[in-house]
């Protein structure tokens, strides 16, 4: 709960930090964005994946891309461990720090795309949250 309160205060401008990826098979990129104004404060980027019981794996390989306000592009793969558990009626949320001590050096819109390496079932939503470091 404290993490969510901190996350909600970390984005002072419009942000799309969570995206539904559908109820069937996920294979299309999910687009997330952060409108950045603070070009000095470091933050951690928290990756959130919401899954249900249709997801039967224990890992998920994602491609994460970013387009910066000055049009630079970067893309990399991430292997995410997704613990099993939870009841059939409750979605599971896996949270991990994707990047630590990131400084979003340009003001403007950072556009992130998150897509699985292969088509997967049981993933409901993905998100990327900037968590600002407090002095």
pLDDT single digits (tens) 71-120: 999 999 999 998 776 555 567 889 999 999 999 999 999 999 999 999 99
Task: Rank 2-11, 48-57, 118-127 by mean pLDDT and report only the highest.
Answer: 118-127
Residue 7 phi/psi, 5-degree rounding, is -65, -45
DSSP state, residue 28 = S
Task: Check the CA dihedral 5-129-101-96 and report its sign.
Answer: positive
Residue 23 phi/psi, 5-degree rounding, is -95, -10
CA distances, 41 to each of 2, 34, 112, 123, 134 (Å): 20, 15, 19, 32, 9
Give the three-class secondary structure for 11: coil
Q: Report residue 91 as tokens.
A: 């979605």
Residue 30, pLDDT score: 96
- Please check the confidence at residue 41 and state whether its pLDDT lies above 70: yes
Strands 43-51 and 30-36: unpaired
The CATH code that applies to domain 2-132 is 2.60.290
């Amino acid at each position: 709960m404290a993490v969510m309160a901190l996350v909600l205060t970390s984005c002072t401008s419009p942000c799309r930090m969570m995206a539904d990826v559908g109820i069937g098979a996920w294979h299309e990129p999910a687009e997330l964005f952060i409108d950045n104004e603070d070009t000095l404060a470091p933050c951690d980027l928290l990756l959130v994946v919401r899954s249900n019981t249709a997801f039967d794996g224990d890992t998920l390989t994602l491609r994460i891309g970013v387009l910066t306000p000055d049009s630079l592009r970067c893309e990399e793969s991430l292997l995410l461990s997704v613990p099993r558990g939870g009841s059939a009626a409750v979605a599971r949320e896996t949270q991990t720090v994707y990047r630590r001590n990131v400084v979003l050096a340009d003001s403007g819109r950072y556009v992130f795309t998150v897509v699985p390496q292969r088509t997967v079932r049981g993933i409901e939503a993905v998100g990327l949250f900037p968590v600002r470091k407090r002095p």
